[in-house]
Amino acid sequence: MNLFVDLLLWAIAIVLAVIAGRRSHTLLRTSTREGVMDCVRLIPRIMLGVIGAGYIAALLPQETVGRWLGADSGFAGLAIATLGGFVTPGGPVIGFSIGVAALKGGAGAPQVIAYTTAWALFAFQRLFIWELGVMPPRLVWLRVAASLPIPFLAALGAMLIGRP
């Protein structure tokens, strides 16, 4: 499956490069340079996140993680995971690395799904810095209220589908 995803991403990149090259060679050069620079900036962050996730997973006490976020932690575990997603700052390198570390540390898959879904929907720094800074507060809080059940529904869907 990983090979398929890799090949699909390369195919998309090649198609986009061909489209850019057909429009203009300057566009192709500029977009290639920007893509390479983004890659150079992101690779160290991704490496640190993955290595950090390994350290976090090794340091997390499995008994505690299993008790609070394990597959048998029920609604309380889902609520803790959702709250954890809300308070986790940073981008995908941080959010997904913590999710992987929790999974390795004994957390249940539905709890990690609730965590990552809540992180994607409610991360407090994004909520307070971006959304409330740009949109009317009533709209932001309405979005949050309407989205609140989604981490729980995602976890429930994972439980119904089967062990991810």
What tens digit of pLDDT does each residue of 24-80 get? 999 999 999 999 999 999 888 888 877 877 777 778 788 888 889 998 899 999 999
Quick one: tokens of 27? Answer: 């566009």
Quick one: tokens of 31? Answer: 């977009």
Q: Is the pLDDT of residue 163 over 80?
A: no
What pLDDT sits at residue 77? 94
Task: Answer whether 0.95 is exceeded by the pTM.
Answer: no
Chain segment 130-146, per-residue pLDDT in tens: 899 899 999 999 999 99
Residue 102 makes CB contacts below 8 A (sequence gap 6+) with 57, 60, 65, 69, 81, 111, 112, 115
Cα 40 to Cα 10, 44, 46: the distances in Å are 17, 7, 11
Domains in the chain: boundaries? 2-53, 60-161
Quick one: tokens of 116? Answer: 């990552």
Share of the chain above pLDDT 70, in %: 99
CA dist., res. 77 & res. 60, Å (int):
16
